[in-house]
Amino acid sequence: MNRDDILDIDLRSIFSPKVWIVIVAIPHTLFLVIVPILQSEVGSVEFQNSTFALLNTIYLGSIYFLTSGKNQSRMVAIFGGSVFLWILINAMITEGSDFGISAQLTPPFIYKFSFSIELAPPLLLWGLLSLSGILHWNEEKSDSESFENLELTEL
């Protein structure tokens, strides 16, 4: 076993999609669903946003409980990546969000990127969730396929 194999094993074990679903679902549900629903009035914009965020919690729970192996990894990568991109795009198009990208198109080609530090935690969580799915994208067998093969070999 060479050094690259050890690095690959460590990365893949740290980025288990099931674990990262839980890591993302808990703070997402607490801070974007439960707290806002309890603190806002029914029909307000905050209430509507928190009930919409509840859909993400339901999606995460569905991916966690109803899928496994390759299917789960791919759904995690796609769902986590799409939420990550939604956060970025929403920050870009919202006025006053302290998000900016600028470029100088003449030499020395200076590029500047700035965003609000408030975006860091959700971007980090959703980005790592997506990365966990990408790292396990082509798993050889899902849990159910392994179980079926085990039963067939015992017969």
- Whole-model pTM: value is 0.76
Could you give the CA distance from residue 80 to residue 74 in angstroms, rounded to a whole number?
10
Note the pLDDT of residue 83.
96
Q: What Cα–Cα distance (Å) separates residue 41 from each residue in 32, 61, 118? A: 15, 26, 24
Residue ranges in the chain modelled with pLDDT below 70: 1-10, 96-97, 99, 141-155
